[in-house]
A = this chain, B = another copy of it.
Amino acid sequence: MDELKIIELRESIFEDNNADAELLRRELTEKGTFFINLMSAPGSGKTSTLRALIPLLKEKFTVAVMEADIDSSVDAEAIAETGVKCIQLHTGGMCHLDADMCRQGLRELDCDGLDLVILENVGNLVCPAEFDTGAHLNMTILSVPEGHDKPLKYPLMYESCSILAVNKTDVLPWFDFDMDKLRDYAAMRNPDIEIIPVSAKTGDGIAELAERIIGRVSGHSK
């Protein structure tokens, strides 16, 4: 395994993040690189879901991952074990990533020849949803232990994502989690959101989630 590259992000100087994000998205589309922004609360299982997904995504695409964290590089080390290119982004205390911060990471990754780059955003249901990263697809994970009421409390996260993976379904018997209510609450925020129950631990639902992602990436590059 190559040594893990750690990038200390600089605060962005761009005033208009939305315009910058549009520009980044166009640049990536021209290069043929599809960019996914994966968000969730801390501990929902972003890294373990990615570890389960990567073997399936790798069969179709050249994949790389950017792991964003305030500090530490435990997640990037876990992802690097799957054999895909992975870099660690340190936000220096910042609670989210914007398009310019993603560009700093993408430059270090070098997107030439990459079909798919996945950003694991900072674990936070509030701020990351407010900043367009330039991604083609926003995806979120809600884990069963967090409860089915999260779309009521964090509206923007669910409004801004088009795929919602409900993780840790293996522990459903031990929690008062109501999947029907979750579906209702998520649909209140975003009627088009695709909800896919998964367990990164047992692998349940991972093939379906991979299929949805593959569909989006392939559909885009057509």
Contacts and interface: CB of A to CB of B under 8 A. Distances in A.
Main secondary structure on chain A at its contact with chain B?
Answer: loop
Contacts of A69: 153
A143 B124 CA distance: 15
Interface residues of A, number: 33
Contacts of A168: 145
A70 interface: yes
Interface string A172-206: 00110000000000000000000000000000000
Contacts of A124: 95, 124-127
Interface string A51-81: 0000000000000000001111010000000
A43 interface: yes
A91 to B, nearest CB: 9
Given A72-B152, A95-B127, 18 more contacts: A41-B43, A41-B123, A42-B146, A42-B154, A43-B143, A43-B150, A69-B153, A70-B126, A70-B154, A71-B153, A72-B153, A93-B130, A122-B126, A123-B125, A123-B154, A124-B127, A171-B171, A171-B175
